[in-house]
Structure formats: structure tokens, C-alpha cells
Structure 1
Amino acid sequence: MSGGPDGLVIGFDLGDGETTLAWTTRYGDGGIQVFKRRSTGERSVLTAMARSVGDRRRLLGEEAVCAAGAAEFSLNFKQGPDPGGLETPEAVLFVQALLAEFLAEHGTPPERTGPARSTDQADTAESAAEPMMVVGHPAGWEPEVVEAYARHLQLRGVHTRLLPESQAALVHVRRPGATAGSEASDRSMAEQPTAGRVLVVDIGSSTTDFTLITDMEPRSLALGADFGCRRIDFEVADLVTAHHRDNETLNAALAADGGREFLLLACRRAKEAQFSGTQAATFDQPVNPRFEPIMKLAWGWLRQAEIPAQVSAPGGWADEFRALLKQARRLMEDQDPDQVVLTGGGSRMPLTRRICREVFPEAAIDNDPDPAFSVARGLALAGYTELRLERFRASLTELLEESALDALCSKHISEGFAELKRRLAGRVRGAADITATTAVEPVDGGEPPAITALREALNQHLGERVSSLCRDHGVPHDALDLDFQLPLSVAEALTDQLTRFAKRQSNLQSGVRAWSMQASRRTAEWWQQRKNTFRPAHSGNPYADIARTAAVWGVPVALWAMQEWSVSRMVKEIEALSLDEGKADELTENIRAHIRDQLLERLTEIERLIF
């Protein structure tokens, strides 16, 4: 993968036990990679930090544990910063150091800023040239704590934003080509089942995050912020110290700088080995000499201890995890999710899956097959997806501003109005086959047929173009519903002018008919009164018969002719109608705005699942 630092998208998963940095480029070249440290070969970097005695250089990961003479050793320092505090937390110092190490290989190391600049305040043009870093945080942290964490993490030259860790894990699990359990799936994130309820349980070292996704809308559950797998490490460490409480050498090593932290690390390595069924190991290189008594005395005992039995004992970690799941179920109004996705290092313990199935018997339980990297990969994927959707949105704006769309709308608006006039004229003529399907009035309570034709033409034209944009920008096709519905204003604007004219002429026509009927009645009465006057003197006179017939039918015929003339004139007036000046342009803009709103709403649904 190539490109300067401005082409990087970084996902940073700071764990209490281990930290992972995943990365890709703005255009996803080469997929998502996990950073591997050159000095130690670590991909899951031990979240440990120390200072080199000679040059005061900050040491990270296994270097912090193994460097001779290293001082200020610290471990398990992931915790929410004090919202009112000014001192940079150790966790943030660790992020800065590991990020600088990564960028030293792939770009320019970052610098600390003065006043923090939030993501929302970042200038769009400037941020487009910056590497983007998405950092995870426990979902259970309070908003003011997250805000303080984000403030401390702002670096000059790096566009930074935060995302709940469990949400990032879901983004990774539902990536294209993701797998759920042992069954592979090539479905995209949008193709995964989202209509139901999905609960993501991210079991980390210091926290357990719960995120409920309902109809692509994520919601973090406020619990688990102080419950993680390191509780097991503390319990096991207490057993070690209790067993060797009279050993002065061990007690002295534990009292030394970093001694207690190193014992917790050894307990964690032993725990992971026993739950995974692998050979227990600590480090590939000698540890700091002051930790050697802990290795000699504690490590042998740890390898023989039954840590899984300790975890499953009554009142132990397993019971606390079960109680936490039940609390989550109550927050979900005692409704089982359709799917539970287990991720995080703690998900590798088989008992976590068993307890989830016990608490949520109706749900499908899925494990992330590679939980150590799922959050970091999800964070990088979330950042990449955000940039991808920004590019898609810009291309979509260009599409909607094309003159071809104006021409298409104008063409179909004109054709639609002409069709409406034709059908209205037919209705005025009284054609029975048109009365029931006139375009002026909706059919069966729906939209007028001419409006349907306009909508279908737009769907075909824009559907093809938007699908092409989706392919170009990697947006799943099914994430967008391309059956565009036109605003009611379009139908109303096309039909209102005709409807008002029809009503006006209908009233006039009714008046003509009423006047005609009254005139015919008066003529008949007049004729009855005077028919003897016009009786011919000699029966059978043809001229007298013609005069009599003309007198009887002349007025009705004249009235009928007047009616036909009125209908003919009305039809001509309908055919001469045109849209008000500027109405076609106004309708085109309304259509464009409505389509833009619909597309952006679909994109927002995708973004809600990510950020």
C-alpha cells in the first residue's frame, strides 16, 4: 500500500490489556491491514508503558516489560479521563507514542495541538488532506468523559473522531465478506439482516460494551463500564500472593516499581492460555531482572492453577457476567434480540457463549472468529466508509445538477400535462371509457396516471445512474431504495390548473343545461296554449306540416346546437391551456430536491449504523 499520510485511515483500538492499530487508505487499496511493530513483531500490542533509563524514551508493549532498567512501568491504565482535568492521561500518551511509531513508517509523526478542535469544527477542505484516525471508547462512558477523551486526543495534522467499541465491532462483523461463526457470508453490511434486533456484546479487559441495533439504529446500553476480564486477573493475582504470602523474595519483587502490574500480566497470559487450550507462555525475550522472582515463583503456580474453575465458581466472574446480561435484557424491555454478536478478547472464553444462550434462548449467538482485531478493523472501516460516503454524496450532488435531469423532467412534465389535457377533454366530451380513468383525478385513491408515468421515467433514468455511482464508490446497491416517490406538489401543480378550469366550465355547462331545460319547458307550454292558432286550414297541407314541425322542434334544436358549440369551445380552450410561466422550472426543482432528500435519507441510515 502506498501514498502519503494524507491517504491514511487509521482505526485505533486502545485496550486495557492489548492495543491494536488497523489501517487502510482513503480508497481502500489493499484492504484493511493490522500494524505490526518492527521492534517486537507485536500486532496485539501489550498496553504497557515505561521509560528508558538512559534516554527517557517512552517504551511500549513488550519493550516496556523486557527492557533492563526501565522505570515508571505502568499497565492497565485505560480509564475515562477526568472531564475537568488538564493533565494528559497515560492512555492518551500511549496512543500518541504508538501512533507516532506507526506514522514514522507511513508518514509524518503528529504534533500536539493547542486548543482542541472538534471533528465538527474541522474545515472540510483541510481535513480532506489529513490522515483520519477513528479511536474507540467504551460505550458505557458518560458523554462528558468521551468529550474529554476526544479533546485530549486531538493532534495537529490528524483528523480524529471517536466511536463506541462495540459499534465498531459490529461494523467489522457486517463488512462485505464477513463471517458469522463457522458460516461464511459474502453479503454486504446493508444486506445483513437489520430489520430485527441485534445486540453486540464486546467483552474487553476493563469494560464490557453493549450496543443494541434496531432497524439500523444503534443505541448504547449504559452498563458494563467497570466490568471486564481483568477482574479475573485481579482474583488470580490475589490467589498467587495468598499462596506465597511468606515469601520475602516475591513480596519484594511485587513491591518494586511495576511488580504488581507484571504479576497481573502473568495472570492474564495464564488465563488466556487455559481458556484457549494453548501452551502458556510469557515473553520471547528475557524480562526486566527485577521481575524474574515473579516469573520463577508465580509462573509455575499459575500454570497448575484451574483458572476456568475459579471463573465458574459460585459468585465468580461468570455469575457477574450472567447478571450483567440479565440487566441488559431488562433495559431491552425483557425482549430477546434476534441476534447476539460476541466480540472482544473475553468472547474467546467458551462460557461467555454458553451464558448468552442461557439468558437469550431465542437469539442466534454469533462469535467474531478473530475478536482481537475486530474493533480496530471496524474503526478503520468506519473511517473509510465515512470518507467513501462523502465522495458519494458529492457525486450525487453533481448528478442532480446535471442539465440532463432538467431536460428529462421538462420533457415528462410537458407530456404529462398534455396527457392530462387530453383526458380532461375526453371527459368533457362525455366519453364513457375515459371518465373512469381520467388523469385529472387519482385512480383508486392513488396518483394520476400521468404522474405515474413521470415517476417511472425518473426511476429508470436515475436508478441506472445511482447504481453506477454505488458501484464506483463501493456503496451497497440495496442500501438505497430507488423507487422514488414524487412530492404531492408535482401532481397538484399539474392538475390544479386543469381542475380549476374544469370546475369553472362545469358550472357554466350546468347553467347552460339548466337554462336549456327551462327554455324547452316554457316553449312546450307556449305551444300548448297556441297550437290551435297554428292549426292548418286544410288538412294534409305539406307547408302547414313543415311550419308546425319547425315551431315544435326549432327551439330545442337550437338549444342542442348551442350545447354542442359550448362543448366544442370548452375542448378548444382545454387544448390551448399551458402551464403558468415558470411552473415547469419550479416543478423540476421540487422534483430534484425531493429526490435528493430521499437519497440522503438512505445514506443517513447507513451512517447511523457507523457513527
Structure 2
Amino acid sequence: MKVSEIIGFDLGHGETAVAKAPAQSIESPQMLEVNHKKNQITALGWHPELGYLVGEQALIQAGVTQLKIAFKQKPDEDLNSRETMRRFLETYYRLLKESKQIEGGTDSYFYVGCPSGWTLDDREKYQHLLESTGIPLLSVVPESRAAFMQAKEVGKFGYDQLKSSVLIVDIGSSTTDFTLVKSFHEIPLDFGSNALGASLIDKAIFARTLANHEQKVLLEKVFAEYPHHQARCELACRKAKEDYFSNEQIYSDSQSFARGFESINEQIFFIPKVNRQIITEILNQPLPELENKSWQESYRQAVNEAKEKLEKLGVTPKVLLMTGGASRMSFTRQICEEIFPEPETQVRPDPEPERCIALGLARVGRWELRASAFKAEVDKLYDSHQMKEAIARNIPELIKLITQPLSIALVENAVKPGLKNWKNGQIRTLADLESWMKSQAEQWLKSDRGRQLIDNKCVTWFNSSIQPEIAERTDPICRQFQIPRSSLRLESGIDPTLVNPDLPIGDAILADAVAFTINLVIGSGTLGSIIALLLTGHLIVPIALVYGAALVGGGVGLNREKIEDAIKEKLDIPSWIRFVALGDKTIDSICDKMQPELESSLREKMTQERQAFDELIEKIGHQVKKALHTKAEEVTILIQ
């Protein structure tokens, strides 16, 4: 199954819009038309001969006997509404296929929006309901995600804003939803019962117009017997509202009015009209649906509550994105600007809120398919064992990088101080000296300085030997998905406008290498045996030359092995001999000779530990895989 197109279906409470995006390219989505319009009133009508009609056709077609408008709601609240939503999508799907605007079947993947405040259970029920239309591929996603994706794709956000925090305020016909998008993750801000929809303003205009109508009683009887007439009149109120908020300056005069019009019959007309004075009164009148608060008061309270919730989270949004058709009402933007002032937060109304969600849904669907394919390519790269092979191939370089500075540090921090302490009589026998040096070397390796030295060399190794091999394999994946080729590289210092520069390479990927090196050098006895061997060889000759007669006089033959044992185990050499045998220059000479020998011995011993290094390769490989997954998660937002 190969999806060829993504359909973004914005089934709104007030209006519906549909967009299509090709699945395999990054071309911009295109709006689709029904009844020769890219936006339709969310209306479903029944005609005895023509069947189900949607949008404008349902409103104007003569002979329509049933009419439903503004019916989108949670799928478990009203059985009639469930059936209306299902029939509406089913009819839309048929019309889009008949007009050849979509392929249909498994070629088309539908992404349908829902309010961000809906729970996961609400979404699942809604998806199950919509799947009953027969559309084979369909997903329900929050409308806030669509708004965010649309804004991202058209360049509304910089990368720093994308990965920080964006507050989305979606003012729809039935609800007003607040969603925080932080580091690309959505966090709906729950306000309990959310009835703050712009359709309440339409209903208030309707109630005001009906109350003042000279044929009020007759109209009430008509509406009771023929509900579709009331639906048309409510739409006339909505049109008057939209006309007013599109041209507020024109209707600021008390004698100017934005009007709607609906004809009940040849003698009865329903003509809602509004201007600034009337709208101001309506926005400030108590509404039972809002617990007797006014619409404007409830909206201000909701925005304030959103700010309080964000403050508790320690978040100040860099951008406040307003969407939904009702975001065109200027006072909603002004309230947001008052409560979230610049420069801390930039308030950005979407220029085309009536199309934003449909276009964004198409982008979300395409993004999800491409992001899934992108992550699969990253997984395939690691599962091909290429990364492990690259790590194994470069292990000798890691050993080389570590042993040279390690041997220098051990001589400076363990060997040389030990020799000086033995010379000064603070250590009794050479056997005691070996034990002290071994203990001191182990302490230094476990110290912050020791760990830092190994860590730095491991990072150098990773960046110089492993990272280029990773880049060689990940850059083509980035090119394939048309994101910056550096997006999957793991080195630090990368352009912060493209990827996260804070991925801790040394800690996240190479901590195992550091711990392994310390444990290998200490735990296997490597360090102690090398120090003992080298120290004995370098100290016996100068001490024997000064103290040889005493050894002979003690009944010990001049056999080298016996002299070594005697010097190490039996003799507490007098201080004057120590000073003669080990002058400062002699100590420096011994240390200079020991360092390359210690380096060579460490390298040989570590190279022989093949099984241990196999375990290290596995561990580093696992960390590389985790790091690539982390980067993949971060940069998927850059995929179009």
C-alpha cells in the first residue's frame, strides 16, 4: 500500500474546508472545492430526490426538507449529531471523488481535525465514527497541531521559537482551545467545560433580532415546526457578525449596520443587523451557556487563566498564534496582546484562519508519513551493523589516543611522587613503594582529573574517527528528506539554528568508554603489574651499585633475581644511600625512561583484551543508536 495524497479535512462547527498535499513531495497543499467554493458552511441538507447535500447547496436548493448546521460536537453527546457528522463526511468524500479532486481508496489518507481539548478517548470515538463512512485510511489529530504545522511551514517561526514554546489560541464556533507547544510537544491547557465558541455570539444576535421582530410570535411557531428555517436565520446572523468584524470601522457609526438576510416566505423576512454599539452590548451581556458571564468577560478570563497555568509551568511563550475563524474579531487579539505583552511574547494572528487548519492537517499527515520513513531509515542504518563495524575498526585509534597521555599522567601523579617519598624515607621498602604507586595511580584514575583526561580523549576519538563515518552514512538520509545534512551529526558546536547543540557527546555516548578504560586498567591488575615490572628494572641498578657490598655481606649472592627480591622485600635502605642512588636528575631520568615503556605496555595489554573491547563496542554502539534516535526525534520537525 502506497499513499499518494494526504487530505486535510477541517470539519468545523461553523465552516468546513479541505486541502490536499502530495505524499511524496514537499509541494504546498492545495485547497479543494465543493460547490465551487473552498470553504463551505458546515451544513447538511436532505432532498427527497437529490439525496444529501452539503454547504451552500444544502442552504439554497429548493425542496430541502431537512437542514442541519453547526453540528460538530463530541461524538458521545448526541446520537443525532453523530449520524449528521457521519453523513456529512460521507457526502463530502463522495463529492470529492466524483469531481476527481481526490483518488479515494487507499491512495488517499484523510487527516481530520478535532478540538485540542478533546481527550484521547474522545478522539478515538470520533475516529471510529468517521471510519464508519467507509474511508479506509483516516486519522484524527488535534487542530492545534495543524495550526502549528501550517505556521511552521509558511515560515512564521524560527527554529529557536519552534523548539522553545508557542501558545496556540484556537477560537472556533463551538470552543476556544489553548494549547502549549513546547519542544515540539503539545500540552493542552484544560479549562474544564469549554463552551466558549463564537456561535454563541451568532445565537445572541439571533435572539436579539427575534425579540425585536414585529412578527416574533409567528416566527417562533415557524421555527418550532420547521427547524431548518431557524438554521438559515442563524446563518444570516453569523454572516452579519462576520461582515461587521471584517469592516469594523465602517460600522462604528450608529446609523451604519452590517446586515444578514433570510426570507421565510414572500411576506416574512428575518434581517439581523449589527454595528459597534449592538456588538458591544452583545459581547457584554450575560449568557447562560457561560455561567451568566459575558462572552468578552469569559474570553478574557480564559486568556488570563492560560497565562496563570503557564506561569506555574515556568513558561513564557515566545509566540502566541491565533487561529480559528473567530480570531478575526479584533478584540480577541487586543486582549491577548494586553495579557501577553511584547517583547516577551509575539502575538501572531493567522492571516487565513478559515483555511489554516485544512492546510495544516494536510501538512501534518504528510509530515507524519515522511517522519516515520525518516526514522525507519535511521533504524535501518544502525541495524545494518555499519555503525558497530565502524566503531570496531577505530578501537586501535582509541587505545592509542588514551595510552599516551595516560602514561604521562600516571608517571607525573604516581611514579615521580612515589620515588620522592621513598627517597625522603616516607616509604620503607621498594615493595611498599610499588603498593603506594599502584594505589596512587588508581586514585588518580578515579579522580575528576583522571576521568576528564580520558573523557576528552574519548570525545576527540569520537569526533575525529567515528563522527565522520556516521556523517558519511547519515548525510544521504538528510538529503533524501530535504533537511540540512548536519541534522544527524552528533558533534558539538553545530549551528544552533539547525539542531540542538546541547547533546552531551562525552556524557551520553562515551561514558561507557571512560568507565571501561578505568576498570580495564585498574581491575585487571594491568596497572599494578606494569608499574612493578618497570619500577624494579629501573631501580635495581643504581641501588645495587651503591649498596651491592652490603648485599654480599648479608650472604646474598649477586644473582640479579635474588638482588631484586632482597632490595624489594628485605631491605629498608638507609637514607644516605637513597639520596646517593636517587638524586633529582636520576628520578627525572627514570621517569623519562618509564613513560614510553609504560605507554607501550598499556597499549599492548589493552589490545590483548579483545573480549572486553567487544563489550565496549556493543555499549558504545547502543549509545550511538540512542543518540541518533534523539537527534532524529529533534530534527523531524524540520521535515516538510
- TM category (shorter chain) comes to 0.7 to 0.9
> How many angstroms apart in 2 are the aligned matches of 1:432 and 1:495?
15
1:360 aligns with 2:357: no
Identify which of structures 1 and 2 has the higher relative contact order when contacts are C-alpha pairs closer than 8 Å and 6+ apart: 1
Decide whether aligned partners of structure 1 residues 608 and 90 sit closer, same or farther in structure 2, where only a CA change above 3 A counts: farther
1:474 aligns with 2:479: no
Q: 2:306 aligns with which of 317, 325, 328?
A: 328
Decide whether aligned partners of structure 1 residues 429 and 267 sit closer, same or farther in structure 2, where only a CA change above 3 A counts: closer
One-letter amino acid matched to 1:237: F
| Cα shift at 1:360 | 2.1
Instruction: Report the equivalent of 2:568.
Output: none
Does the CA-based 8 Å contact 1:139-1:166 persist in structure 2?
A: yes
> How many angstroms apart in 2 are the aligned matches of 1:529 and 1:30?
95
Does the CA-based 8 Å contact 2:21-2:28 persist in structure 1?
A: yes
Decide whether aligned partners of structure 1 residues 459 and 513 sit closer, same or farther in structure 2, where only a CA change above 3 A counts: closer
> How many angstroms apart in 2 are the aligned matches of 1:463 and 1:433?
42
Q: 1:54 aligns with which of 49, 53, 71?
A: 49
1:141 aligns with 2:123: no
Instruction: Report the equivalent of 2:270.
Output: 298
> How many angstroms apart in 2 are the aligned matches of 1:23 and 1:434?
75
Does the CA-based 8 Å contact 2:411-2:591 persist in structure 1?
A: no
1:201 aligns with 2:169: yes
> How many angstroms apart in 1 are the aligned matches of 2:484 and 2:196?
37
1:234 aligns with 2:199: no
> How many angstroms apart in 1 are the aligned matches of 2:2 and 2:592?
81
Does the CA-based 8 Å contact 2:114-2:141 persist in structure 1?
A: yes
One-letter amino acid matched to 1:332: L
Q: 1:161 aligns to what SS in structure 2? A: strand
Q: 1:506 aligns with which of 531, 536, 542?
A: 531
Could you report, residue by residue, the CA deviation over 1:11-48 in whole angstroms, capped at 9, with x for unpaired residues? 111111101111212123532111112xx212111100
| Cα shift at 1:482 | 2.6
Q: 1:398 aligns to what SS in structure 2? A: helix
Instruction: Report the equivalent of 2:29.
Output: 32
One-letter amino acid matched to 1:576: E
Could you report, residue by residue, the CA deviation over 1:363-386 in whole angstroms, capped at 9, with x for unpaired residues? 221111111111111111111111
Instruction: Report the equivalent of 1:43.
Output: 38
- TM-score normalised by structure 1 residue count: 0.76
Decide whether aligned partners of structure 1 residues 478 and 61 sit closer, same or farther in structure 2, where only a CA change above 3 A counts: farther
| Cα shift at 1:476 | 5.4
1:173 aligns with 2:151: yes
Shifted more, 463-472 versus 95-104: the winner is 463-472
Give the structure with the larger helix fraction.
2
Decide whether aligned partners of structure 1 residues 569 and 53 sit closer, same or farther in structure 2, where only a CA change above 3 A counts: closer
> How many angstroms apart in 2 are the aligned matches of 1:330 and 1:498?
55
1:451 aligns with 2:479: no
Does the CA-based 8 Å contact 1:101-1:109 persist in structure 2?
A: no
1:340 aligns with 2:320: yes
1:17 aligns with 2:45: no
Decide whether aligned partners of structure 1 residues 195 and 108 sit closer, same or farther in structure 2, where only a CA change above 3 A counts: closer
| Cα shift at 1:6 | 2.9
One-letter amino acid matched to 1:342: M
Could you report, residue by residue, the CA deviation over 1:244-267 in whole angstroms, capped at 9, with x for unpaired residues? 153565445433131111111000
Instruction: Report the equivalent of 1:308.
Output: 279
One-letter amino acid matched to 1:22: A
> How many angstroms apart in 2 are the aligned matches of 1:293 and 1:345?
33
Decide whether aligned partners of structure 1 residues 379 and 12 sit closer, same or farther in structure 2, where only a CA change above 3 A counts: same
1:82 aligns with 2:76: yes
Decide whether aligned partners of structure 1 residues 195 and 24 sit closer, same or farther in structure 2, where only a CA change above 3 A counts: closer
Instruction: Report the equivalent of 2:185.
Output: 217
Could you report, residue by residue, the CA deviation over 1:566-604 in whole angstroms, capped at 9, with x for unpaired residues? 999867644533243344544444333322212222333
Does the CA-based 8 Å contact 1:389-1:475 persist in structure 2?
A: no
Q: 2:240 aligns to what SS in structure 1? A: helix
Does the CA-based 8 Å contact 2:378-2:629 persist in structure 1?
A: no
Q: Which runs of 5+ in 1 are unaligned?
A: 111-128, 180-184, 531-551
Decide whether aligned partners of structure 1 residues 298 and 419 sit closer, same or farther in structure 2, where only a CA change above 3 A counts: same
Does the CA-based 8 Å contact 2:39-2:354 persist in structure 1?
A: yes
Instruction: Report the equivalent of 2:400.
Output: 418
| Alignment map for 1:254-293 (pairs within 5 Å) | 254-255=223-224, 256-277=226-247, 291-292=264-265
RMSD over aligned CA atoms reads: 4.4
Decide whether aligned partners of structure 1 residues 448 and 327 sit closer, same or farther in structure 2, where only a CA change above 3 A counts: closer
Q: 1:139 aligns to what SS in structure 2? A: coil
Q: 2:3 aligns to what SS in structure 1? A: helix
> How many angstroms apart in 2 are the aligned matches of 1:81 and 1:405?
49
| Cα shift at 1:132 | 2.1
Q: 1:59 aligns to what SS in structure 2? A: strand
Does the CA-based 8 Å contact 1:7-1:25 persist in structure 2?
A: yes
Shifted more, 355-364 versus 260-269: the winner is 355-364
1:604 aligns with 2:633: yes
| Cα shift at 1:490 | 2.5
1:132 aligns with 2:129: no
| Cα shift at 1:172 | 1.1
Q: 1:471 aligns to what SS in structure 2? A: helix
1:492 aligns with 2:515: yes
Could you report, residue by residue, the CA deviation over 1:380-399 in whole angstroms, capped at 9, with x for unpaired residues? 11111111111211222333
> How many angstroms apart in 2 are the aligned matches of 1:467 and 1:134?
31
> How many angstroms apart in 2 are the aligned matches of 1:409 and 1:434?
35
Does the CA-based 8 Å contact 1:250-1:293 persist in structure 2?
A: no
Does the CA-based 8 Å contact 2:13-2:72 persist in structure 1?
A: yes
Decide whether aligned partners of structure 1 residues 20 and 220 sit closer, same or farther in structure 2, where only a CA change above 3 A counts: same
Does the CA-based 8 Å contact 2:471-2:488 persist in structure 1?
A: no
Q: 2:329 aligns with which of 343, 346, 349?
A: 349
